[in-house]
């Protein structure tokens, strides 16, 4: 996804090893439907690049991020948890700062990350698409600036969300019609997976042993 940045970086490493810095990060989001099974049942969901949760964006403070969203099916708009200084239109709430992206159209979100670092969330900002169209946005400190805590040995992005067996648009429409609260979800998910469900093999979250002698940094975002 970060093709041009990566290529630039390779060139830069080759010619100027001391000045490796990527200031513009390119990502491409293809909004596509994908049949997905959880909790012993299957339904089509809207995804970015066939992934649930969607791809993790990485950037450094002061980088410019260009996200090209190619919308093949639905009205979407994507909101980033980034303070938008002078680029309010890149924030994404449909009908507030921009019109939603029409099916078959694309849009390039272009914003610069200023004065923020940490793990944030990007998500679709129309209807309940955010239930499946979301992901983490990791803003690293500027190059050469250390973390404000001992550097972790490894970083793991953990995205907490919820799963409805029903179509989430049907859930929200039903709630809007009745005026009652929407149905609660059928499961909470960690990186897209609910807990192990008997007879639904391989759909539960993988159990992993974490060696505690390492310092791990968990970058947790909740949808």
Ligand X SMILES: *[C@@H]1O[C@H](CO)[C@@H](O)[C@H](O)[C@H]1NC(C)=O
Applying CB under 6 A, the residues found at the interface with ligand X are 33-35, 44, 66, 108, 110, 166, 170-171, 174, 183
Smallest gap from residue 209 Cβ to ligand X (A)? 35
For ligand X, the closer CB: 77 or 168: 168
> Which residue has the closest beta carbon to ligand X?
166
Q: Over the chain, what HEC string results?
A: CCHHHHHHHHHHHHHCHHHCCCCEEEEEEEEEEEEEEECCEEEEEEEECCECCCCCEEEECCCEEEEEEEECCCCECEEECCCCCCCHHHCCCECCCECCECCCCEEEEEEECCCCCEEEEEEECCCCHHHCCEEEEEEECCCCCCCCCCCCCEEEEEEEEEECCCCHHHHHHHHHHHCCCCCCCCEEEECCECCCCCCCCCCCCCCCCCCCCCCEEEEEEEC
Between 47 and 119, name the residue whose CB sits nearer to ligand X.
47
Q: How far apart are the first and last CA of the chain?
A: 23
- In the complex, the smallest distance separating the C-beta of residue 175 from ligand X, rounded to whole angstroms, is 9
Question: CB 56 → ligand X: shortest distance, Å?
Answer: 21
Closest distance of CB 157 from ligand X, Å: 26
Question: Considering beta carbons, is residue 1 or 66 the nearer one to ligand X?
Answer: 66
Contact 27, 69 (CB under 8 A): no
Q: Least distance (Å) from ligand X to the CB of residue 44?
A: 5
Can you read off the two tokens belonging to residue 20?
Answer: 């490796």
Closest to ligand X by CB, 155 vs 174, is 174
Q: How far is the CB of 68 from ligand X (least distance, A)?
A: 9
Of the two residues 4 and 116, which places its CB atom closer to ligand X in the complex? 4
Q: Which is nearer to ligand X, 68 or 152 (CB)?
A: 68
């Amino acid at each position: 996804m970060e093709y041009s940045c990566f290529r630039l970086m390779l060139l830069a490493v080759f010619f100027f090893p001391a000045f490796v810095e990527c200031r513009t990060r390119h990502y491409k989001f293809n909004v596509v439907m994908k049949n997905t099974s959880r909790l012993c049942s299957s339904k089509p969901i809207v995804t970015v690049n066939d992934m649930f949760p969607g791809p993790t964006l990485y950037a450094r403070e002061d980088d410019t991020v260009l996200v090209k969203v190619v919308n093949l099916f639905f009205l979407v708009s994507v909101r980033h948890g980034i303070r938008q200084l002078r680029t309010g239109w890149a924030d994404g709430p449909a009908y507030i700062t921009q019109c939603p992206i029409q099916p078959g159209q694309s849009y390039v979100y272009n914003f610069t990350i200023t004065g923020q670092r940490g793990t944030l969330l990007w998500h679709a900002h129309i209807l309940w698409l955010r239930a499946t169209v979301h992901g983490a946005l990791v803003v690293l400190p500027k190059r050469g600036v250390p973390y404000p805590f001992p550097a972790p040995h490894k970083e793991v992005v953990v995205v907490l969300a919820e799963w409805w067996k029903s179509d989430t648009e049907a859930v929200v429409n039903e709630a809007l019609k009745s005026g009652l609260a929407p149905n609660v979800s059928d499961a909470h998910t960690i990186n897209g997976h609910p807990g192990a469900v008997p007879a639904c093999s391989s759909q539960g979250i993988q159990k992993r042993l974490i060696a505690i002698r390492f310092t791990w940094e968990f970058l947790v975002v909740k949808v």
